[in-house]
């Protein structure tokens, strides 16, 4: 009879983990090779595409091509501007965010500010300006660093500006090639586009596919379940009830689940 | 914790596992009772009849079943109770539940078979969706035993009823009532294994109810869960014991005590290991072990704990917790690859290891090979598929695909998932899954070929279950999206052949054209070219047939196929009246087959076939010479040449079936060339060698017909005048035949004269009818509608059930409609249109085939138009366009005609959306139709008008654009 100890020995055992080196303080430049430079201040010079980094010893220019990212303190006005957007005060937020974009160019916060500007313009239904802002943002950031929600807002700007051909092409491309979380979101967006054009069967296929084969994409799943259930109900398909049940049991506190529970 | 003797454990375990594997034993429902009795009476004729009636009910013929049951009851009065069981089912199926209940009440209520009937009624109501009534019956049943429980001899029956009811309630989403039903079984003090299983099932339901509840109510449910789990745990170590551990851990997590949950599992882990060993020792499938779930749960709990510690900056402690998490997760998928927890464990471990590396931890792990896990899961899915359990197989495939998407081999699994939905005939889910192959896997080079192959297999699966609609749809998707697939050409050819065999030549065209245009290197390219030519020939599209055959004869190697191809090319030229080109091809063929016969045949069959081709080629070459007429001054030369060719033909093939034709034509030519003696010799030979031929028996007619075909109209008229000058020398049939030839050649007046003569002199009723119908046709051709009506009415007077009912009815309707349209006053107009409708109805009486129905719809629409009933005509055309059987090759031409007629009408009425929809449908259904270009124009115009009117237009499907859309900017 084997003992517990020997059985345990037979199990797969993990060996050692080492703490990562380095602790961050103040402004920092993180290079592509992984090294980090502490700085007193950093600014970006667009004309030469360089970061002008002031350390305790000297001020040095560093080509942007060598830099993975920089870390500087958050602009003080950013949080308030974002709060203004959330409460619908777009006109108050816009000038603040435009200044941040200007003052923090190349310093990461400009991109957040751009996203904020995009949200503000979307809120004001000024889709052209929203589109312009997001196009700048997409130029500034590599694709893999663009958060899902930002990408979705860009697509919404395209839809609002009625650039359907570009939107469809982008969505088809994302569905085909982007990481699965992005693809799932693109499927929802494409479904919305089809639904808006009265092509409900095509919309349903996109939502349903997300439900069936993208279960792990939690950000998209509640919406996919909700919208697929709605369209199935229009077709008097009894599976609408199953999908609603899945929504309320998997995401009981999600707004879509609450809408379903309230009879929506 | 009490430990059981391993032997007891093993024995109890065996029993329990058998219970699990074989399901809850089903017992005596009404049908089962019947079957049990049937088993006792294998040769009972009454039982066979009852089984048959039960089958009728199942096939939705309860009324027939009742008739038989009435008869059985009369014959077997003593078996009323047995018969009543099936009668109850039949009555319920007819919606007569009350009558069924009344019947049940006539039986003693204290008998088990009466109660079985009652519950069977409840089951049937449930199956029909009448849940409330079903519940009422079951509750009434349980209420009988509420105080003292069922008597001993009824306990099994009671338990089975309660269990079945519990399942029904679970399916209906009523968990509380399901729980009550299980409790009823528990109250009957079942044996230990059943008791433990029930306790766990109730505990699980209570847990779910607790999760959905709040406050005190939640606490009540959770307390119940806890209590039941403890009961199970006290009872011994088995699978239910394992389940109880998992449940308790989940409970503790729900109460916000993850450490307690971990502790619970850790405490019971040694016992679960013993259970594992017992399972392993007895060679039971390890997926049954609760250890997999427990360790998965432990793994996730440790992971959450580790993340919490990391967030608090406690890296060393976090490290330990991550270690534990990974250890447990690893063990699940390595030691239990078959379990449903393995995929998630493996994927989670992989993801966690990656995250840890990215976070700067150095992680040394053995290589994570998830292949065994994936293979184990896929094996199970395929086993379920092979057992026709498509729902379970689909669930398994989805698990694998969601946990391990986009790895090598996954595209095939997506295809297999699609096959599950195909077999379940769930078209919606099928399309959604197919879209994953086209939109996600297809565009990726690493998966593309596999995705295409998965679709091909799906097409084959659809054909196998005879779901041809799905096979067509999926094939089309494949061709559109995977045109570069190595097997695309082969599948195109197969689909084309299928259409060809069903005589759907216009649809077959599409497939063969694609191969010829796109897959020029495919091995099926030349066969496709050949078939394409055949399609055009069958459709009478000689222009395209010529083009394709010209290409074919340059590509095909020398042999029998080339001989056949060249002959067909010559025939196509002849049908286009391009006689000189036809003659050239016939000549090439004749030369080849005469001078080098061995080059064109490799076996006796091909030799025989080539001889037939040679015979035909020589004959038709002569024929073509006889038809040449330009320039007129060369005509005698051509005719002389034709005579030579006919002689050469007759010399080469003296016994040919075409001999009479050749001799007759030769005689005519020689007459025309003023070589009277030679002509006489030819006619004499015709009479001698072919005395029974039509040409010999009807020499005058044959001469006249031949002259007409040669374009010698005046000479033909003189010959036919001979017939009218000496009518007694010719039969009514000969006059009729002459009339037909005249009509075909457009000599209407002479045709009328011939038919009239035939009608007057015919003695056989059938010939008289033929003559009058043909007179009607001739009149209609002349536009003499009054005359047409007269002749056709005469026909119906001669025989009200004439074989010409349908064509004469349609023609008569048309004639009356034309007269109605031109009528001077409303009354006359009304009379004629009413007569037209009567005529149509008369034709409608003999309609049997779909193509006749389609024609009737078309004629009705024409009549309505002539009457000025535009809306009616529109509806009639639309019925054909939208609902006509487009798969039927004989109906297709009518659908196309209806489309052609209705589109201008829709335009006139401003129904532009209908125009767009119709045009789109036409382009899908008739991709090579004669109206394709017109349909596109109509659609574009309608879309333009819609846009002007400001209506939303969906874009043209299939990526087509009828108009360019201006775009701004470009991709960022």
Mean pLDDT per block of 10 residues along chain A (264 residues) reads 42 31 62 88 89 89 89 92 94 95 90 94 95 92 86 93 91 93 95 89 96 93 96 90 88 88 76
Q: What is the radius of gyration, based on Cα positions, of chain B?
A: 42
Q: Which pLDDT score is estimated for B16?
A: 40
Element at A70 (helix H, strand E): strand A67-71
Pick B972's closest partner by Cβ from A139, A176, A245.
A139
pLDDT at B328 over 50: yes
The 3-state secondary structure of B317-370 reads HHHHHHHHHHHHHHHHHHHCCCCCCHHHHHHHHHHHHHHHHHCCCCCECCCCCC
Find the domain containing B57 and state its range. 1-10+24-190
Q: Which pLDDT score is estimated for B963?
A: 38
Test the B interface: residue of A9, A10, A17 with most B CBs within 10 Å: A17
Cβ distance B322 to A19 less than 8 Å, yes or no, reads no
Pick B362's closest partner by Cβ from A16, A183, A245.
A16
C-beta separation of B306 from B325 below 8 A: yes
Domain boundary pick from A35, A54, A73 = A73
Q: How many CB atoms lie within 10 A of CB B379?
A: 13
What would the mean pLDDT of B386-394 be, rounded to a whole number? 93
Q: Which pLDDT score is estimated for B742?
A: 85
Q: Assess whether A179 and A246 both reside in one domain.
A: yes
Q: How many CB atoms lie within 10 A of CB B91?
A: 26
Q: Which pLDDT score is estimated for B364?
A: 67
Who has greater pLDDT, B362 or A110?
Answer: A110
- Whether A154 is in a domain gets the answer no
| SS3 state of residue B519 | coil
- Whether B49 is in a domain gets the answer yes
Distance separating alpha carbons of residues B749 and B924, to the nearest angstrom: 45
- Whether B39 is in a domain gets the answer yes
Cβ distance A19 to B360 less than 8 Å, yes or no, reads yes
Smallest CA–CA distance from A15 into chain B, residue: B364
* Cα B396 to chain centroid, rounded: 26
Structure tokens at A76: 């003080």
Q: Assess whether A198 and A105 both reside in one domain.
A: no
| Closest by Cα among A12, A15, A13, A18 to B362 | A18
Distance separating alpha carbons of residues B920 and B698, to the nearest angstrom: 54
Characterize the bridge pairing of strands A41-45 and A36-39. unpaired
Q: Is B599 exposed, middle or buried (0-12, 13-18, 19+ CB in 10 A)?
A: middle
Closest approach of chain B CAs to the CA of A51, in angstroms? Answer: 24
- Whether B185 is in a domain gets the answer yes
C-beta separation of B467 from B425 below 8 A: yes
Distance separating alpha carbons of residues B636 and A210, to the nearest angstrom: 79
Smallest CA–CA distance from B431 into chain A, residue: A205
Quick: pLDDT tens for B472-487: 999 999 999 999 999 9
Quick: pLDDT tens for B109-166: 888 888 888 898 898 888 777 889 999 999 999 999 988 889 888 899 999 999 999 9
C-beta separation of A148 from A174 below 8 A: no
Domain boundary pick from A34, A52, A73 = A73
Place of tokens 């603040």: A96
Q: Which pLDDT score is estimated for B32?
A: 46
Distance separating alpha carbons of residues B865 and B873, to the nearest angstrom: 6
CATH number reported for the structural domain that contains residue A54 in this entry: 2.30.30.100
Mean model confidence pLDDT for chain B: 87
**A213 vs B: CB within 8 A:** yes
pLDDT at B227 over 60: yes
Pick A209's closest partner by Cβ from B315, B435, B970.
B435
Q: Determine which of B555-569, B684-698, B888-902, B914-928 has the lowest per-residue pLDDT on average.
A: B684-698
| Torsion sign across C-alpha atoms B599, B603, B607, B613 | negative
Structure tokens at B356: 């840890």
What would the mean pLDDT of B398-412 be, rounded to a whole number? 90
- Whether B48 is in a domain gets the answer yes
Q: Which pLDDT score is estimated for B626?
A: 93
| Closest by Cα among A228, A65, A46, A226 to A142 | A65
| Torsion sign across C-alpha atoms B204, B208, B209, B210 | positive
Contacts of A131 in chain B (CB under 8 A): 969
| Torsion sign across C-alpha atoms B69, B72, B76, B82 | negative
Q: Assess whether A33 and A60 both reside in one domain.
A: yes
Contacts of A237 in chain B (CB under 8 A): 428
- Whether B768 is in a domain gets the answer no
Q: Which pLDDT score is estimated for B956?
A: 52
C-beta separation of B671 from B679 below 8 A: yes
What pLDDT band is residue B618 in, cutting at 50, 70 and 90? very high
Smallest CA–CA distance from A12 into chain B, residue: B327
Partners of B117 in the beta sheet? none
**Angle (CA) A159 A163 A164, round 5°:** 75
CA dihedral B383, B386, B390, B392 (to 10 degrees): -20
Q: Assess whether A49 and A108 both reside in one domain.
A: no
Cβ distance B972 to A183 less than 8 Å, yes or no, reads no
pLDDT at B560 over 90: yes
What would the mean pLDDT of B408-413 be, rounded to a whole number? 92
The total of structural domains in chain B comes to 1
Smallest CA–CA distance from A180 into chain B, residue: B405
Smallest CA–CA distance from B365 into chain A, residue: A14
Inter-chain Cβ pairs, chain A and chain B, closer than 8 A? 108
Closest approach of chain A CAs to the CA of B320, in angstroms? Answer: 9
Quick: pLDDT tens for B105-115: 888 888 888 88
Q: Which pLDDT score is estimated for B894?
A: 94
Q: Which pLDDT score is estimated for B236?
A: 84
Contacts of A236 in chain B (CB under 8 A): none
pLDDT at B955 over 80: no
Place of tokens 């989805």: B398
What would the mean pLDDT of B79-93 be, rounded to a whole number? 87
- Whether B612 is in a domain gets the answer no
Find the domain containing A83 and state its range. 74-141
Q: Assess whether A107 and A69 both reside in one domain.
A: no
| SS3 state of residue A150 | helix
Cβ distance B972 to A134 less than 8 Å, yes or no, reads yes
Closest approach of chain A CAs to the CA of B939, in angstroms? Answer: 18
Cβ distance B360 to A20 less than 8 Å, yes or no, reads yes
Who has greater pLDDT, A15 or B704?
Answer: B704
pLDDT at B31 over 50: no
Distance separating alpha carbons of residues B852 and B891, to the nearest angstrom: 8
Quick: pLDDT tens for B932-946: 999 999 999 999 998
Pick B972's closest partner by Cβ from A14, A135, A245.
A135
Cβ distance B356 to A131 less than 8 Å, yes or no, reads no
Contacts of B322 in chain A (CB under 8 A): 17
pLDDT at B30 over 60: no
Q: Which pLDDT score is estimated for B3?
A: 34
What would the mean pLDDT of B816-826 be, rounded to a whole number? 92
Quick: pLDDT tens for A8-25: 444 433 323 222 333 344
The total of structural domains in chain A comes to 3
Test the A interface: residue of B280, B439, B442 with most A CBs within 10 Å: B439
**A228 vs B: CB within 8 A:** no
Q: Determine which of B333-347, B448-462, B489-503, B520-534 has the lowest per-residue pLDDT on average.
A: B333-347
- Whether B149 is in a domain gets the answer yes
Who has greater pLDDT, B16 or A257?
Answer: A257
Cβ distance A198 to B436 less than 8 Å, yes or no, reads no
What would the mean pLDDT of B305-318 be, rounded to a whole number? 87
Contacts of A18 in chain B (CB under 8 A): 361-362
pLDDT at B13 over 70: no
Sheet holding A41-45, edge to edge: A41-45, A50-54, A59-63
Closest approach of chain B CAs to the CA of A59, in angstroms? Answer: 30
**Angle (CA) B145 B148 B154, round 5°:** 55
Q: Assess whether A56 and A81 both reside in one domain.
A: no
Q: Which pLDDT score is estimated for B627?
A: 92
Contacts of A176 in chain B (CB under 8 A): 439-440, 442-444
Closest approach of chain A CAs to the CA of B443, in angstroms? Answer: 6
**A134 vs B: CB within 8 A:** yes
What would the mean pLDDT of B81-86 be, rounded to a whole number? 86
Cβ distance B440 to A176 less than 8 Å, yes or no, reads yes
- Whether B915 is in a domain gets the answer no
Residues 6+ apart with CB under 8 A from B691: B697
CATH number reported for the structural domain that contains residue B124 in this entry: 1.25.40
Helices (H), B698-746: 699-709, 713-725, 732-745
Contacts of B173 in chain A (CB under 8 A): 245
What would the mean pLDDT of B235-260 be, rounded to a whole number? 88
Q: Which pLDDT score is estimated for B958?
A: 47
Q: Assess whether A136 and A192 both reside in one domain.
A: no
Cα first-last separation, chain B: 67
The 3-state secondary structure of B522-555 reads CCCHHHHHHHHHHHHHHCCCHHHHHHHHHHHHHH
- Whether A147 is in a domain gets the answer no
What pLDDT band is residue B847 in, cutting at 50, 70 and 90? confident
The answer, yes or no, to whether the previous bond of B517 is cis (omega within 30 of 0) is no
């Amino acid at each position: 009879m084997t003992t517990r100890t020997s059985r345990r020995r037979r199990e797969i055992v993990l060996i050692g983990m080492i703490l990562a080196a380095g602790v961050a303080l103040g402004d920092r430049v993180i290079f592509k090779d992984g090294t980090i430079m502490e700085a007193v201040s950093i600014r970006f010079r667009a004309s030469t595409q360089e970061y002008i980094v002031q350390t305790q010893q000297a001020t040095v220019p560093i080509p942007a091509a060598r830099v993975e990212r920089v870390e500087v303190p958050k602009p003080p006005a950013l949080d308030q501007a974002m709060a203004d957007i959330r409460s619908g005060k777009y006109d108050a937020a816009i000038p603040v965010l435009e200044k941040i974009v200007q003052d923090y160019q190349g310093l990461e916060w400009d991109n957040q500010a751009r996203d904020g500007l995009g949200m503000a313009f979307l809120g004001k239904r000024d889709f052209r300006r929203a589109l312009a802002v997001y196009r700048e943002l997409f130029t500034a950031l590599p694709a893999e660093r663009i958060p899902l929600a930002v990408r979705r807002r860009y697509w919404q700007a395209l839809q609002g500006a009625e650039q359907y051909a570009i939107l469809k092409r982008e969505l088809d491309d994302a569905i085909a090639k982007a990481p699965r979380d992005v693809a799932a979101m693109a499927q929802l967006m494409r479904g919305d586009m089809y639904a808006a054009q009265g092509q409900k069967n095509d919309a349903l296929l996109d939502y349903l596919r997300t439900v069936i084969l993208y279960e792990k994409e939690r950000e998209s799943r509640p919406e996919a379940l909700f919208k697929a259930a709605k369209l199935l109900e229009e077709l008097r398909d009894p599976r609408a009830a199953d999908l609603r049940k899945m929504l309320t049991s998997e995401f009981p506190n999600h707004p879509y689940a609450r809408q379903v529970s309230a009879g929506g | 914790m009490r430990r059981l003797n391993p032997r007891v454990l093993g024995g109890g375990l065996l029993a329990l596992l058998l219970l699990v594997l074989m399901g809850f034993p089903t017992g005596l429902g009404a049908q089962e009772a019947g079957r049990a009795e049937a088993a006792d009476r294998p040769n009972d004729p009454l039982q066979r009849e009852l089984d048959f009636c039960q089958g009728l009910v199942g096939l939705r013929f309860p009324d027939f079943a009742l008739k038989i049951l009435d008869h059985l009851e009369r014959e077997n009065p003593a078996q009323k109770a047995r018969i009543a069981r099936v009668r109850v089912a039949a009555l319920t199926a007819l919606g007569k539940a009350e009558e069924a209940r009344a019947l049940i009440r006539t039986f003693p209520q204290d008998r088990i078979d009466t109660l079985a009937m009652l519950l069977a009624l409840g089951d049937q109501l449930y199956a029909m969706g009448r849940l409330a009534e079903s519940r009422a019956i079951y509750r009434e049943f349980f209420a009988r035993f509420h105080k003292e429980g069922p008597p001993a001899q009824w306990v099994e029956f009671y338990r089975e009823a309660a269990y079945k009811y519990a399942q029904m309630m679970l399916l209906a989403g009523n968990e509380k009532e399901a729980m009550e039903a299980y409790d009823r079984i528990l109250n009957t003090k079942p044996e230990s294994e059943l008791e433990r299983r029930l306790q766990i099932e109730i505990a699980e339901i209570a847990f779910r109810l607790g999760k959905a509840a709040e406050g005190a109510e939640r606490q009540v449910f959770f307390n119940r869960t806890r209590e039941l789990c403890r009961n199970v745990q006290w009872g011994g170590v088995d699978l239910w014991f394992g389940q109880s551990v998992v449940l308790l851990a989940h409970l503790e997590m729900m109460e916000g005590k993850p450490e307690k949950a971990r502790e619970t599992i850790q405490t019971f882990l040694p016992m679960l290991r013993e259970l594992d060993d017992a399972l392993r020792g007895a060679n039971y499938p390890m997926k049954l072990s609760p250890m997999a779930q427990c360790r998965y749960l432990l793994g996730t709990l440790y992971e959450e704990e580790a993340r919490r510690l990391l967030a608090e900056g406690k890296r060393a402690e976090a490290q330990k917790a991550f270690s534990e998490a990974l250890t447990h997760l690893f063990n699940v998928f390595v030691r239990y690859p078959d379990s449903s927890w393995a995929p998630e464990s493996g994927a989670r471990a992989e993801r966690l290891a990656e995250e840890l590396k990215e976070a700067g931890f150095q992680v040394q792990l053995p290589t994570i090979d998830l292949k065994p896990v994936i293979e184990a899961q896929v094996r199970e899915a395929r086993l379920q598929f092979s057992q026709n359990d498509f729902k379970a197989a689909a669930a398994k495939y989805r698990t694998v695909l969601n946990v391990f998407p986009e790895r090598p081999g996954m595209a095939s699994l997506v295809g297999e998932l699609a096959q599950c939905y195909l077999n379940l005939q769930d078209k919606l889910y099928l399309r959604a899954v197919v879209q994953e192959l086209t939109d996600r896997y297809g565009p990726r080079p690493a998966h593309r070929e596999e995705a295409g192959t998965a679709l091909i297999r799906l097409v084959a699966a659809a054909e196998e279950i005879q779901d041809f609609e799905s096979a067509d749809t999926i094939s089309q998707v494949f061709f559109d999206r995977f045109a570069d697939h190595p097997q695309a050409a082969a599948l195109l050819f197969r689909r084309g052949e299928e259409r060809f065999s069903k005589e759907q030549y216009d649809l077959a065209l599409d497939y063969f054209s694609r191969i010829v245009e796109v897959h020029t290197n495919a091995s099926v390219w030349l066969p496709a070219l050949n078939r394409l030519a055949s399609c055009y020939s069958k459709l009478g599209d000689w222009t395209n047939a010529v083009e394709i055959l010209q290409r074919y004869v340059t590509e095909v190697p020398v042999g029998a196929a080339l001989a056949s191809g060249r002959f067909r090319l010559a025939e196509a030229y002849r049908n286009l009246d391009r006689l000189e080109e036809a003659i050239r091809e016939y000549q090439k063929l004749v030369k080849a087959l005469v001078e080098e016969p061995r080059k064109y045949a490799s076996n006796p069959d091909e030799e025989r076939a080539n001889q037939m081709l040679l015979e035909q080629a020589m004959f038709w070459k002569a024929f073509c010479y006889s038809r040449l007429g330009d320039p007129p001054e060369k005509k005698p030369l051509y005719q002389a040449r034709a005579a030579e060719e006919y002689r050469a033909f007759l010399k080469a093939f003296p016994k040919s079936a075409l001999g009479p034709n050749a001799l007759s034509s030769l005689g005519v030519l020689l007459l025309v060339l003023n070589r009277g003696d030679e002509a006489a010799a030819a006619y004499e030979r015709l009479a001698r060698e072919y005395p029974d031929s039509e040409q010999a028996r009807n020499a005058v007619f044959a001469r006249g017909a031949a002259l007409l075909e040669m374009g010698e109209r005046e000479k033909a008229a003189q010959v036919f005048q001979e017939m009218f000058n000496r009518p007694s020398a010719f039969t009514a049939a000969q006059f009729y035949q002459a009339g037909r030839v005249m009509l075909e050649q457009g000599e209407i007046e002479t045709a009328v004269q011939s038919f009239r003569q035939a009608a007057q002199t015919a003695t056989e009723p059938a010939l008289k009818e033929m003559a009058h119908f043909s007179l009607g046709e001739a009149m209609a051709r002349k536009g003499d509608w009054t005359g047409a009506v007269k002749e056709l009415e005469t026909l119906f007077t001669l025989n009200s059930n004439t074989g010409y009912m349908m064509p004469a009815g349609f023609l008569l309707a048309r004639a009356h409609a034309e007269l109605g349209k031109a009528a001077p006053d409303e009354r006359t107009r009304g009379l004629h249109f009413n007569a037209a409708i009567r005529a149509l109805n008369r034709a409608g009486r003999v309609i049997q085939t779909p193509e006749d129905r389609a024609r009737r719809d078309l004629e009705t629409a024409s009549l309505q138009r002539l009457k000025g009933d535009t809306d009616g005509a529109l509806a009639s055309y639309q019925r054909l366009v939208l609902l006509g059987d487009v798969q039927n090759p004989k109906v297709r031409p009518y659908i196309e005609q209806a489309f052609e007629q209705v589109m201008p009408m829709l335009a006139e009425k401003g129904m532009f959306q209908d125009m767009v929809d119709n045009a789109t449908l036409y382009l899908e259904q008739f991709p090579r139709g004669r109206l394709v270009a017109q349909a596109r124009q109509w659609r574009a115009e309608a879309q333009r008008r819609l846009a002007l009117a400001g209506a939303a237009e969906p874009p043209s499907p299939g990526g087509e654009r009828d108009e360019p859309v201006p775009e701004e900017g470009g991709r960022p």
